[in-house]
């Protein structure tokens, strides 16, 4: 009887301990989101319909945004509109798309289910050939080392297409991706790489052509894709300047 | 009060389950122990070392602070410390200080106008406000106004013999006729019991024992009760005889006495009616039963000696059960012997005035030490001024003894281990239960990343909290800045303030759009939390020793008067560069349109400016409303735009309606449907006045404002008057009362370290107080006296 009582007491105390351990965490640190800043932007008016998607990824993706003051806004529904070159945010309460104030955004990250497919975009200043002044654009990071390879996921109007909708004829802009690659040196200056080919790449490093050609040959890099270009920049980064 | 409430004699009859009780207690202790390790609910602690305890208004009070977690030495994680000086009326001086690696330091200027009296120095982190105020640091000091010749606050202690009350606490709760008894006596009431003599007389008037009360009113006595009861106790200066509790005719007594080298001697005795002494002795420590001894003596006495090495450090409870007695004898004992790091100090016993002096310090340890050092007049230190080691000891004991920390901490932290053991005679308790301090609230977050300002939104009438309402914060600036917080279920909101907000006026507003339809009849009130407010007020305790030191105090007042007349200030400030590096939380980066009114012809008022210059903004005079046309659609935006004057959100245009180009500098028009988090604006109008101090920010609803004072450099002690070079200083009298203050002295182990200082023109007795810990956390405390002739 005595042992039964002791066993019951032990069982009760062990249960009590487990219950206490499993209780809510007794921490006085603030909730992760409590002091997070907020995104600002314009409620996007309806956009004209286009032939082709203006978005880099059509679906809304979960993402984080780092503001220019260094603070992060996390777990937002985001997508990048390459036609407007704007970060679009789905307002979590009103469920309307919001064009995030670009000048307040330093960078943003779009997450996909596969962590390897995470897209990092940075707000950089570049000189577009069709613009007379420097512009702030969002560009996706492909490689970051001593230098940085980014791609501006630009979507450009390539023409117009007349479509019939509800018995009426409409003209819709025909848009297509027109990516622009930029190499950002340690000094922060962005140099365009006009295409994914060896000649375009070597033209950026005009004084080190033979050295780089030899290095690419040594590493068996043939420039056919963005991945090849990123590998090539990584190899060049390893060479002494 | 402490003893009447919590330290009481409690008989412990043996009950039916007494057999299984030790096992159950042990099990409970073993199971409960890991809980404290897991808990993140430990209040932080802070200890301040001040240069003195007695000051003259017009001087600086210097302090060095150490923070630690739980009851173990270590660093706390809060980044800010709040130090305040208060009297019974409220907080008078407040200072916010940064904490780096568990250390902080500062100085408080004691204003010339402070009236003479007792004050309390308090220190806490915001995190500590979740627990009882007892866990915060507080220390009573005395400040004399230098013009106060009467010093009415320094009065001889009032003694009314009729009000003297005595309480008696027999050791282990028993007194048995014919056996030696040890008695703790406590004097209370409006009677100056300090250092009074005691006489114990029997029924025949024979003196059985003599004793003396100490300065806290405690005394002890040993005697052998016999049949000549009742016993009467007399106190020197008292007018009555106090009767002792009756001794029982039979039973057992237990006595603990300190032995050599921090050891312990236990003595159990049974009365002559018993044939032999038998029973079970158990020694509990907070970890469980430390030792169990079956006592089965053929004699009536049993003795045990424990060398220090055989006893665990900390609280021990000796419990003896015997079939010869109905109750369990209990005697708590604090086994000291903390690993105090010894410090060898070499100083001359005497110095001349204005002499260069040197003190040599050497650590008796292999570890470096982080110390604070003060050299100040000996009279300016209270005798029971507690130190960091005693503070930690008191925190430890309050954790394991069934005492209210609010009452026990102030008493225990001024005692050494042997004084503690004298008092523990009165505590008759079961076993040391670990009591992890329970938070009273969870409102106050740890300020680890920055200063947090918090507040509460309530309904004025019902005082109920209003949850899920939006509180907006902005500050006057040339940029429109805004951040908001939502109230939680307790109506509490918080903002983490970057250094952008330093030294700015903060405006908090309840966003009316966050009120619900069901809020009709609710009258919201927005309250900003005062970080220095403490729930319990300060009640001064008159110190008897101050009366003895009144002449020294009067001399200090005179010195301070002369120092002020010479305008000598022994305190300097470092040049501090303004640091506002962080960007404001902006509502938008660039307004759609910016109108600088200097670029246009002067206009008389705002409606005219909007009509003639802006166009997209229309103000309807009379109705006093206004609308914006959208920049992208050219249609009127729904509702009124958000209106900001000098960066602060306001309700209406009334205060700026009549302002023309002569008073207005710039108008930003951001005519887009704009969102900021969950807030939506039908465009934004930013009006900036030419007067940067314009502060009429009308708001129809709950609002509050405060000036945000960031941590500042409090300056530092200097032995040369500020603004004077060496040659000039040599011509002036040196009227420093504090000869040396170093809040952070890093002492290297294994070598001699030196402190150099200069004596002043003031002769007298000075005390060197060195306090701190080595890098392993072992406390260091050293005091030494010297004279300046």
Tell which residue, B456, B712, B430, has the closest CA to residue B579. Answer: B712
Residue B619 has pLDDT above 80, yes or no: yes
Does B28 sit within 8 Å of A13, measured CB to CB?
Answer: yes
Nearest to A139 by CA among A197, A191, A204: A191
- Judged against a pLDDT cut of 60, whether residue B6 lies above it is answered with no
Give the Å distances, CA to CA, from A175 to A83, A156, B37, B553, B727.
Answer: 8, 5, 62, 89, 83
Residue B446 has pLDDT above 70, yes or no: yes
**Token reading at B610:** 């909007």
* pLDDT digits 0-9 by tens, A209-237: 889 999 999 999 998 999 999 999 999 98
Mean pLDDT to the nearest integer, A53-67: 94
Cross-sheet strand order for the sheet of B218-223 = B165-170, B181-188, B218-223
Question: What tokens were used for B195?
Answer: 């250092």
| Contact status, residue B499 vs residue B582, Cβ threshold 8 Å | yes
Q: Which residues of A touch B484 (CB under 8 A)?
A: 38
For chain A, the distance separating the N- and C-terminal CA atoms, rounded to the nearest angstrom, is 85
Residues B126-157 have pLDDT tens digits of 999 998 888 899 999 999 999 998 888 888 87
* Closest CA in chain A for residue B671: A42
Residues of B in contact with A104 (CB under 8 A): 586, 588-589
Query: Which site among B634, B675, B684 would you substitute to test the A interface, given the most A Cβ atoms closer than 10 Å to its Cβ?
Result: B675
pLDDT in tens, B377-425: 999 998 776 777 788 888 888 777 777 777 777 778 778 888 888 888 8
Q: Is 90 exceeded by the pLDDT of residue B364?
A: no
B-chain residues near A13 (CB < 8 A): 27-28, 31
The stretch B673-686 carries a mean pLDDT of 94
Average pLDDT of chain A is: 85
Contacts with B721 (C-beta within 8 Å, 6 or more apart), sequence order = B568, B569, B570, B729, B732
pLDDT (average), residues B243-264: 86
Percent of chain B with pLDDT over 90: 41
Interface membership of A27 toward B (CB under 8 Å): yes
Q: Do B40 and A94 touch (CB under 8 A)?
A: no
Q: Do A69 and B583 touch (CB under 8 A)?
A: yes
Distance CA B546, CA B554 (A): 11
A81 min Cα distance to partner chain B (Å): 18
What does the alpha-carbon distance between residue A174 and residue A195 come to, in Å, rounded to a whole number? 22
Q: Output the pLDDT for position B730.
A: 84
What integer pLDDT is reported at residue B668 of this predicted model? 96
Reading the block at residue B778, the tokens are 């072992």
**Residues B20, B26: Cα–Cα separation, whole Å:** 10
Q: Which residue has the tokens 């080298």?
A: B261
Option in B27, B31, B583 nearest A68 (CB): B583
Tell me whether residues A28 and B680 touch, CB distance under 8 A: no
Predicted confidence (pLDDT) per residue in B295-329, tens digit:
888 888 899 888 888 888 888 888 898 888 878 88
First to last CA, chain B: 45
A25–B40 CB contact, under 8 Å: yes
* Least confident among B120-134, B196-210, B747-761: B196-210
Q: Of A14-18, B363-367, B558-562, B712-716, which gets the smallest average pLDDT?
A: A14-18
3-state secondary structure of B306: strand
Band the pLDDT of B455: cuts 50, 70, 90.
very high
Which helix H or strand E contains B37, and what residues bound it? helix B21-38
pLDDT at B56 over 60: yes
Contact B632 A45 (CB under 8 A): yes
Q: Best interface-test mutation with B: which of A38, A47, A96 has the largest number of B CBs within 10 A?
A: A38
CA distance B635 to chain A (A): 12
Torsion of CA B721, B722, B726, B729, to 10 degrees: -40
Q: Beta strands B625-628 and B617-620: pairing type?
A: antiparallel
Instruction: Give the mean pLDDT of B92-102.
Output: 92
Q: How distant is the Cα of A1 from the closest Cα of chain B, in angstroms? A: 12
Tell me which of B677, B680, B681, B683 to substitute to probe the interface with A (most A C-beta atoms closer than 10 Å).
Answer: B677
Q: Do B589 and A5 touch (CB under 8 A)?
A: no
Q: Which residues of chain B does A30 touch, with a Cβ-Cβ cutoff of 8 Å?
A: 445, 452, 494, 496
* CB-based contacts of A239, cutoff 8 Å, min separation 6: A208, A211, A212, A215
Please give, rounded to a whole number of angstroms, the shortest distance from the CA of B618 to a CA of chain A. 21
- Residue B260 sits at φ, ψ, to 5 deg, of -65, 150
Using the Cβ of A7 and the Cβ atoms of chain B, whether some distance falls under 8 Å is answered with no
By DSSP bridging, strand B90-98 and strand A148-152 are: unpaired
Count of other CB atoms within 10 angstroms of residue B342? 11
Q: What is the pLDDT of residue B31?
A: 39
Q: How far is B677 from chain A (nearest CA, A)?
A: 5
pTM over 0.95: no
Q: Residue A241's pLDDT is what?
A: 62
| pLDDT score recorded for residue B225 | 86
> What is the per-residue DSSP string for A58-97?
SS-EEEEEEETTS-EEEEEEEEEETTTTEEEEE-TTT--E
pLDDT reported for residue B62: 97
- The helix/strand/coil state of A218 is helix
- pLDDT (average), residues A94-122: 93
Contact between residue A113 and residue A102 where contact means Cβ atoms under 8 Å apart: no
Burial class (CB in 10 A: 0-12, 13-18, 19+), B520: exposed
CA distance A19 to chain B (A): 11
Report pLDDT digits (tens) over B332-358: 889 886 666 678 889 899 999 999 999
Residues of A in contact with B583 (CB under 8 A): 68-69
Contacts of B31 in chain A (CB under 8 A): 13-14, 16-17
* Residue A1 at interface with chain B, using a CB cutoff of 8 Å: no
pLDDT of residue B36: 35
**pLDDT for position B24:** 43
On whether any CB of chain B is under 8 Å from the CB of A17, the answer is yes
Separation between Cα atoms, residue B66 and residue B584, nearest integer Å: 33
Which residues of chain B neighbour A92 with C-beta distances below 8 Å? Answer: 678
Q: Which residues does chain A have within 8 Å of residue B589's beta carbon, measured at their own beta carbons? A: 101-104
Widest Cα–Cα separation across chain A: 94
């Amino acid at each position: 009887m005595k042992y039964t009582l002791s066993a019951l007491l032990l069982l009760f105390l062990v249960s009590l301990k487990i219950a206490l351990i499993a209780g809510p965490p007794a921490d006085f640190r603030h909730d992760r989101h409590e002091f997070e800043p907020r995104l600002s932007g314009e409620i996007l008016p309806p956009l004209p319909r286009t032939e082709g998607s203006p978005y880099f990824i059509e679906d809304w993706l979960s993402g984080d945004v780092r503001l220019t003051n260094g603070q992060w806004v996390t777990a937002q529904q985001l997508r990048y509109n390459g036609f407007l070159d704007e970060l679009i945010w789905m307002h979590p309460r009103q469920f309307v798309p919001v064009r995030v104030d670009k000048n307040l955004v330093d960078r943003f990250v779009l997450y996909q289910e596969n962590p390897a497919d995470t897209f990092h975009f940075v707000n950089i200043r570049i000189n577009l050939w069709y613009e007379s002044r420097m512009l702030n654009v969002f560009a996706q990071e492909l490689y970051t080392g001593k230098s940085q390879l980014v791609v501006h996921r630009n979507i450009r109007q390539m023409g117009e297409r007349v479509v019939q909708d509800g018995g009426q004829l409409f003209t819709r802009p025909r848009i297509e991706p027109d990516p622009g690659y930029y190499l950002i040196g340690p000094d922060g200056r962005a140099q365009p790489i006009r295409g994914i080919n060896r000649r375009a790449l070597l033209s950026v490093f005009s004084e080190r052509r033979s050295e780089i050609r030899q290095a690419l040959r040594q590493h068996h890099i043939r420039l056919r894709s963005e991945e090849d270009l990123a590998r090539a920049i990584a190899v060049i980064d390893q060479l002494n300047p | 009060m402490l003893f009447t409430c919590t330290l009481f004699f409690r008989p412990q009859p043996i009950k039916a389950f007494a057999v299984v009780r030790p096992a159950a207690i042990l099990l409970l202790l073993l199971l409960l122990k890991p809980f404290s390790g897991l808990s993140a609910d430990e209040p932080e602690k802070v200890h301040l070392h001040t240069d003195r305890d007695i000051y003259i208004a017009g001087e600086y009070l210097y302090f060095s602070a150490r923070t630690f977690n739980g009851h173990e030495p270590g660093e706390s994680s809060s980044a800010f410390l709040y130090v305040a000086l208060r009297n019974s009326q409220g907080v008078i001086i407040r200072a916010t200080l940064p904490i780096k690696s568990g250390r902080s330091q500062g100085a408080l200027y004691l204003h010339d106008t402070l009236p003479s009296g007792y004050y309390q120095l308090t220190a806490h982190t915001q995190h500590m406000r979740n627990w009882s105020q007892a866990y915060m640091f507080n220390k009573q000091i005395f400040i004399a106004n230098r013009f106060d010749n009467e010093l009415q606050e320094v009065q001889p202690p009032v003694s009314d013999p009729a009000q003297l009350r005595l309480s008696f606490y027999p050791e282990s709760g028993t007194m048995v006729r014919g056996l030696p008894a040890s008695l703790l006596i406590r004097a209370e009431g409006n009677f100056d019991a300090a250092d009074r003599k005691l006489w114990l007389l029997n029924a025949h008037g024979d003196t059985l024992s003599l004793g003396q009360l100490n300065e806290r009113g405690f005394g002890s006595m040993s005697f052998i009760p016999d049949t000549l009861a009742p016993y009467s106790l007399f106190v020197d200066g008292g007018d009555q005889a106090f009767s002792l509790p009756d001794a029982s005719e039979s039973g057992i007594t237990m006595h603990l006495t300190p032995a050599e080298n921090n050891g312990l001697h236990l003595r159990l005795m049974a009365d002559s009616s018993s044939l032999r002494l038998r029973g079970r002795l158990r020694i509990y420590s907070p970890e469980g039963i430390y030792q169990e001894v079956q006592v089965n003596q053929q004699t009536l006495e049993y003795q045990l000696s424990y060398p220090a090495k055989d006893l665990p450090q900390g609280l021990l409870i000796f419990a003896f059960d015997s079939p010869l007695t109905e109750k369990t004898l209990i005697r708590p004992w604090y086994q000291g012997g903390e690993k105090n790091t010894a410090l060898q100090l070499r100083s001359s016993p005497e110095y001349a005035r204005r002499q260069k002096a040197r003190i040599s310090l050497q650590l008796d340890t292999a570890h470096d030490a982080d110390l604070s050092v003060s050299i100040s007049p000996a009279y300016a230190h209270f005798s029971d001024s507690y130190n960091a080691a005693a503070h930690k000891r008191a925190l430890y004991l309050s954790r394991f003894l069934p005492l209210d920390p609010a009452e026990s901490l102030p008493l225990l932290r001024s005692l050494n281990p042997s004084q503690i053991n004298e008092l523990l005679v009165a505590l008759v308790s079961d076993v040391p239960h670990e009591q992890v301090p329970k938070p009273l609230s969870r409102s106050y977050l740890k300020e680890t990343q920055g200063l947090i300002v918090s507040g509460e939104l309530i309904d004025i009438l019902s005082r109920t909290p209003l949850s899920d309402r939006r509180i907006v914060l902005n500050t006057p600036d040339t940029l429109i800045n805004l951040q908001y917080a939502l109230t939680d279920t307790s109506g509490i909101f918080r903002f983490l303030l970057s250094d952008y907000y330093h030294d700015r006026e903060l405006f908090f507003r309840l966003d009316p759009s966050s009120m619900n339809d069901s809020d009709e009849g609710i009258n919201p009130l927005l309250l900003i939390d005062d970080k220095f407010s403490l729930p319990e007020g300060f009640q001064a305790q008159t110190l008897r020793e101050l009366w003895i030191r009144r002449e020294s105090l009067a001399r200090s007042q005179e010195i301070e008067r002369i120092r002020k007349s010479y305008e000598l200030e022994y305190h300097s400030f470092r040049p501090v560069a303004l640091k506002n590096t962080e960007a404001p939380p902006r509502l938008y980066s660039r307004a759609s349109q910016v109108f600088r009114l200097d670029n246009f012809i002067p206009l008389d008022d705002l409606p005219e400016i909007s009509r003639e210059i802006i166009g997209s903004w229309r103000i309807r005079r009379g109705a006093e409303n206004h609308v914006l046309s959208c920049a992208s659609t050219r249609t009127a935006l729904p509702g009124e735009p958000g209106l900001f004057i000098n960066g602060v959100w306001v309700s209406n245009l009334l205060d700026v309606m009549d302002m023309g180009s002569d008073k207005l500098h710039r108008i930003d028009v951001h005519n887009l449907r704009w969102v900021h988090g969950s807030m939506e604006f039908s465009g934004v109008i930013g009006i900036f006045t030419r007067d940067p101090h314009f502060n009429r920010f009308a708001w129809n609803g709950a609002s509050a404002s405060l000036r945000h004072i960031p941590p500042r450099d409090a300056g530092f002690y200097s032995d040369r008057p500020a603004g004077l070079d060496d040659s000039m200083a040599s011509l002036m009298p040196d009227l420093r009362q504090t000869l040396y203050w170093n809040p952070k002295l890093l002492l290297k182990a294994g070598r001699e370290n030196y402190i150099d200082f200069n004596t002043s023109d003031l002769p007298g007795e000075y005390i060197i107080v060195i306090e701190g810990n080595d890098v392993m956390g072992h406390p260091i405390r050293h005091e030494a006296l010297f004279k300046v002739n």
